[in-house]
């Protein structure tokens, strides 16, 4: 007999039944808002060349970056699908300068959802994989509506209750963790559901790929340059290949499945690193750790960093234990 179909929704409910039989089901309801939004986004991404939705929206976001039309559509899909869930008190997006309080649900909502609606969007026009990244935190209900929403958002990554991404690649995949391992689901376009395809993902202990924007290498701090030279020299016991897509979700997805290391160190133009702590580095770090990998800013564990602003940037190094241990030893050896 064929295996029963395990959709992401069923998977979340079964996990809840196993781990927290008393749970209200609120959390799976919230996640279904995210999966619905990403199906809408996947559809727009697939038809981008046919509809008039390629190219810039003629504005810049809070980081001063050009906003693509699909960035706007993706953001609207998430804000809409999460805003009507009833249990989301606050949303914070790469595309909005300030957190968005869901006025109707602030009094009893217990969740903060932080997201990058369309990561790697500069790749859209050339038909390269892009993604959506999200991080879910808890907050106390605010019946009087007096608490500063920013305080509820600025929590370290160690407080995340779930995180994940969707990669819009040759297929659309949803990968998430709720703190009990990492599972991957592939969107079956015929039935419109995410179906389990990668149960209990483990990152290999060592890989043979490193992933970095090497055009920036001359301005990397010395330790990173030594590290890359070490990987290239074969001294790590492997011959490494280099792969770099320029979409964090896609580069991390490969690193998660094949192992190795992805890094975005400080550079001359981005001395604090380029990637954003709250909605890029934190969820990626949570997934990496849950799959047996590690994530640091070159010195500290990413998930221990206390954020001071919503859009703050951080250097990011994430990967298999062997490559991460090597980074530490090479950087501290001088």
SS (H, E, C) 35-80: HHHHHHHHHHHHCCCCCCCCCEEEEECCCCCEEEHHHHHHHHHHHH
The reply on whether position 8 binds ligand AHM by CB under 6 A is no
Q: Residue 73 and residue 70: Cα distance in Å, rounded?
A: 5
Task: Give the CA radius of gyration of the chain.
Answer: 19
If binding is defined by CB under 6 A, does position 44 make contact with ligand AHM? Answer: no
x/- mask, ligand AHM, residues 63-82, rule CB under 6 A, reads: --x-----------------
3-state secondary structure 216-229: HHHHCCHHHHHHHH
- 120 near ligand AHM, judged by CB under 6 A: yes
The reply on whether position 160 binds ligand AHM by CB under 6 A is no
Give the interface segment with ligand AHM, choosing from 37-45, 100-108, 182-190, 243-251 (CB under 6 A).
243-251
Rounded CA separation 307/282 (Å): 10
Residue 122 or 208 having the CB closest to ligand AHM:
122
Chain residues 78-137 in contact with Mg ion, contact rule CB under 5 A: 116, 119
Helical packing angle, 26-46 and 8-19, nearest 10°? 160
Per-residue CA distances from 160 to 17, 138, 153, 156 (Å): 20, 7, 11, 8
First-residue to last-residue Cα distance in the chain:
60
- Of 18 and 268, which CB lies nearer to ligand AHM in the complex structure? 268
Residues 169-208 as x/- pattern, contact with ligand AHM by CB under 6 A:
----------------------------------------
Q: Which of 213, 221, 257, 312 is close enough to bind ligand AHM by CB under 6 A?
A: 213
Only segment of 16-24, 114-122, 187-195, 228-236 that touches ligand AHM (CB under 6 A): 114-122
Q: 26-46 vs 69-83: helix axis angle to the nearest 10?
A: 160
Q: Is 82 within 8 Å of 31 (Cβ atoms)?
A: no
Asked if 246 interacts with ligand AHM (CB under 6 A), we say yes
Closer by beta carbon to ligand AHM, 124 or else 137:
124
Site membership for ligand AHM, residue 247 (CB under 6 A): yes
Helix H or strand E encompassing 168: strand 162-168
What does the alpha-carbon distance between residue 172 and residue 189 come to, in Å, rounded to a whole number?
A: 9
The item of Mg ion, ligand AHM, none sharing an interface with residue 255, based on CB under 5 to 8 Å by kind, is none
297 lies in the site for Mg ion, by CB under 5 A: no
**Of residues 24 and 63, the one with the C-beta less far from ligand AHM:** 63
274 binds, among ligand AHM, Mg ion, none (CB under 5 to 8 A by kind): ligand AHM
Count of Cβ atoms closer than 10 Å to residue 244 Cβ: 16
Q: Which residues contribute to the site for Mg ion (CB under 5 A)? A: 116, 119
Q: Which residues contribute to the site for ligand AHM (CB under 6 A)? A: 65, 94, 116, 119-122, 213, 246-248, 251, 264, 274
């Amino acid at each position: 007999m064929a295996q029963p179909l395990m959709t992401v929704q069923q998977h979340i409910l079964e996990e809840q039944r196993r781990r927290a039989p008393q749970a209200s089901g609120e959390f799976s309801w919230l996640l279904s808002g995210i999966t619905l939004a990403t199906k809408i986004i996947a559809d727009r991404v697939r038809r981008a060349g046919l509809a008039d939705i390629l190219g810039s929206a003629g504005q810049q976001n809070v980081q001063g970056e050009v906003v693509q039309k699909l960035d706007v559509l993706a953001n609207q899909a998430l804000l809409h699908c999460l805003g009507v869930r009833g249990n989301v008190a606050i949303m914070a997006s790469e595309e909005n300068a300030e957190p968005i309080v869901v006025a109707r649900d602030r009094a009893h909502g217990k969740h903060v959802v932080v997201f990058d609606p369309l990561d790697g969007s500069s790749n859209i026009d050339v038909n390269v994989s892009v993604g959506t990244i999200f991080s879910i935190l808890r907050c106390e209900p605010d019946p009087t509506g007096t608490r500063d929403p920013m305080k509820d958002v600025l929590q370290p990554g160690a407080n995340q209750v779930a995180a994940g991404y969707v990669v819009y690649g040759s297929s659309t995949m949803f990968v998430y963790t709720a703190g009990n391992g990492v599972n991957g689901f592939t969107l079956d376009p015929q039935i419109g559901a995410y179906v389990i395809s990668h149960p209990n993902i483990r990152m290999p202990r060592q890989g043979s790929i490193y992933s970095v924007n090497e055009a920036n290498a001359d301005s990397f701090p010395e330790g990173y340059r030594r590290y890359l030279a070490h990987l290239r020299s074969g001294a790590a016991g492997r011959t490494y290949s280099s792969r770099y897509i320029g979409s964090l979700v896609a580069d991390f997805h490969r690193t998660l499945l094949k192992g190795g290391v992805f890094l975005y160190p400080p550079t001359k133009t981005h001395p604090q690193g380029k990637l954003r702590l709250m909605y890029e580095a934190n969820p990626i770090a949570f997934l990496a750790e849950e799959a047996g990998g590690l994530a640091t800013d070159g010195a500290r564990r990413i998930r221990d960093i206390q954020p001071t602003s919503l859009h703050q940037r951080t250097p990011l190094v994430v990967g298999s234990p062997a490559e991460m241990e090597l980074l530490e030893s090479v950087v501290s050896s001088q």
